[in-house]
Amino acid sequence: MRAHGSRARRGGSLLAVAAFCALASAAALADEAKVDLAKDKVGTPSEMQPMSKFCGTKDIKVALADGYGSNSWRKITRAEFESEAKKCPTIKEIRYTDAQGNVQKAISDIQGLVAQKFDVILVFPDGGEAVIRAMRKATSAGAVVIPYMVGAHFPGERGKDYEMVVTESVEANGRVKAQWIADHLNGKGNVIVLGGTPGNPTSAAEAVGWKEVFAKYPGIKVLEGPVTTNWDPAETQRVMSGLLAKYDKIDAVYSDYGLGSMGALRAFVAAGRPIPLWAAQDANELGCFWQEHKAQNPNFQMGNVSGRNWIVRLALRKGVAAAEGIPNDEPSIIELPLVEDTFSSDPKLQPACDKSLPPDALLSSGLSTDELKALLK
């Protein structure tokens, strides 16, 4: 009986130790949760801070899990991520994965990063809600998971499915571009809306904004959209060629990808149709195209927001700050104004064109001219 009692006492001691460890772990998690990351703060690009403030002392591994990395916008975004990560001596490994548009691969990519114990995982979830379960498992495993550029109302539960969202206000992008179109159409006209990959959160979030604006103008008719283009210029040209054959009158085109717009613009030229109002994102080729075609197309005016690749830098700073236990009070939701408006008399708002750079360069990115040349050569 004494031996049995001894085992019971030892068992009780083990339970006490386990309980203490659990409480200590919970306390540690609570302390981490107290790190202020300004998760709901809305602000502007002028409020960005240097990475050096958040590097900390703990050695960490960071990764970007991309859902579809083939186009130039994604390549520039990856380069911005890697450039920002190199600013921290405590970041010992930088990894990039490309799911190539395959949702199952996107899920397995995230699972693989968790298995390799990456501390920070940024995610561009092209698969939308289908990827959330993988993000949830990564979060429960202790990784700081941040979906970026997905809109402030991305599905899922913050703190459970992911740490936080870092994004431009995608809905506001939709409102800004749609209002520009509505104003310059005087509230009446036919609009085509070009989207990206099927089910992607960016096109869906922008749709919330443009639908809200266009609903106020009964004279504006969205003929189709968001039309799937896979954010591929060649596919966008095929899609727009079909739309031009279908509709005799298109007064404006709304796009959520500036470089993708080039395919649609080529379709207008090939069809011999006048180019209408155009709202998109800035791109070097787009600016040069406007300069070359504006004289022959008086209705070809542009209103563009930033390509905002640099937001991935902010997402990484938030992730590193969380992993290092350092507060970060930068805004997490960025409101973007138009960076190009051909109706404006301000020369700074005229479309940019740098012929020393490749056509697919994004001049509003955080990369230098030399970095863009090397990346896109």
pLDDT digit string, tens, across residues 224-237: 999 999 999 999 99
Does residue 252 share a domain with residue 349? yes
Task: Check whether residue 101 and residue 219 sit in a common domain.
Answer: no
- CA torsion sign for 51, 361, 46, 175 is negative
Question: What angle do helix axes 233-246 and 258-271 make, rounded to 10 degrees?
Answer: 40
Question: Are 353 and 231 part of one and the same domain?
Answer: yes
Same domain, 251 and 281: yes
Residue 175 sits in the same domain as residue 189: yes
Report the chain's mean pLDDT, rounded to a whole number: 90
The identity of residue 280, as a single letter, is A
The proportion of the chain whose per-residue pLDDT surpasses 70, expressed as a percent, equals 91
The reply to whether 214 and 73 lie within a common domain is: no
- Return phi, psi of residue 212, to 5°: -60, -45
Report the DSSP beta bridge partners of residue 159.
none
Same domain, 161 and 188: no
How many structural domains are present in the chain?
Answer: 2
For residues 322 and 38, the answer to whether their CB atoms sit within 8 Å is no
pLDDT of residue 10 exceeding 90: no
Distance of alpha carbon 116 from alpha carbon 21, whole angstroms:
25
pLDDT of residue 360: 85
Q: pLDDT category, 199, cuts 50, 70, 90? A: confident
pLDDT of residue 28: 38
**pLDDT (0 to 100) of residue 7:** 33
**What is the pLDDT, as a whole number, of residue 171?**
92
* Residues 160 and 175 both lie in one domain: no
Query: Which regions of 73-176 does DSSP assign to beta strands (E)?
Result: 91-98, 120-124, 144-147, 167-168
Q: How many CB atoms lie within 10 A of CB 133?
A: 13
Q: pLDDT at position 323, please?
A: 98
Q: Are strands 302-305 and 338-341 parallel, antiparallel or unpaired?
A: antiparallel
pLDDT tens string 81-130: 999 999 999 999 999 999 999 999 999 999 999 999 999 999 999 888 89
Same domain membership, residue 217 and residue 178 = yes
Backbone dihedral angles phi then psi of residue 279, each to the nearest 5 degrees? -120, 125
Domain limits for position 75:
35-169+310-336
Query: Tens of pLDDT along 244-299?
Result: 999 999 999 999 988 889 999 999 999 999 999 999 999 999 999 999 999 999 99
Burial class (CB in 10 A: 0-12, 13-18, 19+), 116: exposed
C-alpha torsion 244→248→249→253, nearest 10 = -10
Give me the phi and psi of 100, to 5 degrees please.
55, 35
Q: Please state, in angstroms and as integers, the Cα–Cα distance from residue 288 to each residue in 353, 358, 361, following that order.
A: 5, 11, 11
Beta strands per DSSP E along 103-143: 120-124
Q: Which of 293, 254, 248, 277 lies closest to 185, judged by CA?
A: 277
Judge if 362 and 214 occupy the same domain: yes
Please indicate, yes or no, whether residues 216 and 136 belong to a single structural domain of this protein: no
The answer, yes or no, to whether residue 27 has pLDDT greater than 50, is no
pTM: 0.78
Residues 290 and 316 occupy one common structural domain? no
Query: What CATH number does the domain containing 98 carry?
Result: 3.40.50.2300
